[in-house]
Amino acid sequence: MTKLTFDDFQAWFREYDAQRGLTDDPPLAVLARLMEEVGEIARHVLHLEGEKPLDECQRDEERAALALELADAFIFLTKLANLYAIDWTPTIHAAIQKAEARFGLEEGQREAARRRAARLRRHSEDDT
């Protein structure tokens, strides 16, 4: 399998939609399809993290299904980006810069510790 860049995928998807006459889907319809995929992602995460234990085979099946749903969601995100002429590569670079500016290394580590402590408090409260 060859590596696929964001640019490669976005160009492939533009061509895919163009060949099929799917370039004029209304953005709100695409957003609705994206939200449907997010719901399916949530269902698989709930199965993986839920109270009902899964054996290793079931976990592998859920992870594989989750991977496909994540890819489907990325497709609809890319479709929205294409509809609004947003290129992924500069957008991802901007998001990286935003994340780096928001949380420097030490600040990010403090935030991670705060979140872990909050999760532990919630879990200990659930046990009482």
What local confidence, expressed as pLDDT, does residue 124 receive?
82
CB 25 within 8 A of CB 80: no
What local confidence, expressed as pLDDT, does residue 128 receive?
65
Task: Specify the pTM.
Answer: 0.84
DSSP state of 104: -
What local confidence, expressed as pLDDT, does residue 84 receive?
96
Q: What is the mean pLDDT of each run of 10 residues along the chain (128 residues)?
A: 92 96 96 98 95 91 98 97 96 94 89 92 78
What local confidence, expressed as pLDDT, does residue 27 receive?
97
Rounded Cα–Cα distance for residues 30 and 26 (Å): 6
Domain at 1-86: CATH architecture:
Orthogonal Bundle (1.10)
